[in-house]
């Protein structure tokens, strides 16, 4: 699990890790497809603008909800375990973001969360990562 994967939000898994300048076009394409599939692309490219609250409170509420979901998803994929910080602190940050995503109605599956956590651990946890990846896939659960 050396790459970040995003699954659950569109029912599959999409590699969302930018590996470098040479990977830019592929990464951009994958994220564009993902954001379009989750109906969030218009928020990120500016084509879906926030509505004035007085024009349509219902439409504005829908836009604000999509915007909050997009921003929270971005936080989820950007959070990393810092090298000299406790893993428990990192897991609390991930858990808080997941609570926000769930409260916004996002479908967050366990596989996506595990992949995010494992792929964001610093190099000092390589032995743990290797042991985790050597387990059969059906045993890789949050409670393992």
Confidence band for 94, pLDDT divided at 50, 70 and 90: very high
* pLDDT above 80 for 8: no
* pLDDT above 70 for 13: no
**d(Cα 105, Cα 69) in Å, to the nearest integer?**
8
What is the model's pLDDT at position 11?
44
What does pTM read for this prediction?
0.57
Q: What average pLDDT does the segment 56-85 reach?
A: 84
Q: 14-58: per-residue pLDDT in tens? A: 566 777 778 788 888 888 788 877 777 787 777 776 655 556 777
**d(Cα 29, Cα 10) in Å, to the nearest integer?**
15
């Amino acid at each position: 699990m050396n790459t970040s994967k995003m699954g659950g939000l569109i029912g599959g898994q999409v590699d969302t890790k930018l590996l470098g300048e040479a990977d830019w076009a592929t990464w951009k394409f994958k994220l564009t497809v993902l954001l379009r599939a989750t109906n969030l692309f218009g928020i990120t490219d500016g084509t879906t603008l926030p509505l004035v609250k007085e024009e349509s409170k219902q439409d504005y509420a829908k836009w604000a909800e999509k915007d909050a979901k997009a921003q929270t998803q971005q936080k989820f994929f950007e959070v990393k375990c810092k090298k000299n910080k406790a893993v428990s602190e990192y897991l609390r940050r991930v858990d808080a973001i997941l609570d926000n995503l769930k409260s916004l109605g996002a479908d967050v599956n366990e596989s996506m969360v595990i992949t995010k956590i494992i792929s964001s651990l610093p190099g000092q946890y390589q032995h743990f990562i290797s042991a985790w990846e050597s387990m059969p896939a059906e045993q890789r659960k949050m409670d393992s």
